[in-house]
Amino acid sequence: MRPPLQASDPGFELVPQRFRASICNVNSPTSLTVESAQGKKLFVFDRVFSPDTDQEGIWEYLSESVDAFVQGYNVSILAYGQSGAGKSFTMGTSGPAEQANPRIMGVVPRAAAALFEKLCGPSVKSGLRSPNRYSMSNGGGLHQRNQDKNWQLKATYVEVSPMAF
């Protein structure tokens, strides 16, 4: 959960009045309450991040998803919330300038970099390294095996906004 936009934030005037106040409260690392006309409603998730969790903290939790994907598991990462809640910021789809800054880089560029580093070996640009468990015990490591392979990633990014309808 991200802190609500402030009046001084860019785009604040585009957020409808009814979405400007925070109606969510983080109760624990796995639950939050939402205030509604019928009272407070409790929701439980695998993980709820508090407003003070930075991009690195979110990635630290989600980075194991890339390992699971490489091992053959299906992986989906979803950001859901009210307008101005920080979905685009957290996912890292707000623009190319943010994708180069490690302090504010979001989930999508971090996951793509980690995935390609695991498949093709460490990149000179990044400080990430492939874990030792991906190396082969017979001396022919994953990087050596992948020199003969052509990796291709097809990704889809969809942002649906009720204001667009």
Q: What is the model's pTM?
A: 0.61
Place of tokens 């979110």: 58
**Closest among 161, 164, 165 to 79, alpha carbons compared:** 161
pLDDT in tens, 46-57: 888 888 888 999
Mean of the per-residue pLDDT values of the chain: 75
DSSP track, 63-111: THHHHHHHTT---------STTSSHHHHHT-S-HHHHT-TTT--HHHHH
The top-scoring range by mean pLDDT among 17-26, 32-41, 80-89 is 32-41
| Model confidence band, residue 126 (pLDDT cutoffs 50, 70, 90) | very low
pLDDT average, residue stretch 159-164? 62
Task: Report whether pLDDT(145) > 80.
Answer: no
pLDDT average, residue stretch 108-122? 83
At residue 51's C-alpha, the angle toward residues 47 and 52, to 5°, is 105
pLDDT greater at residue 70 or residue 164: 70
The domain spans of the chain are: 53-164
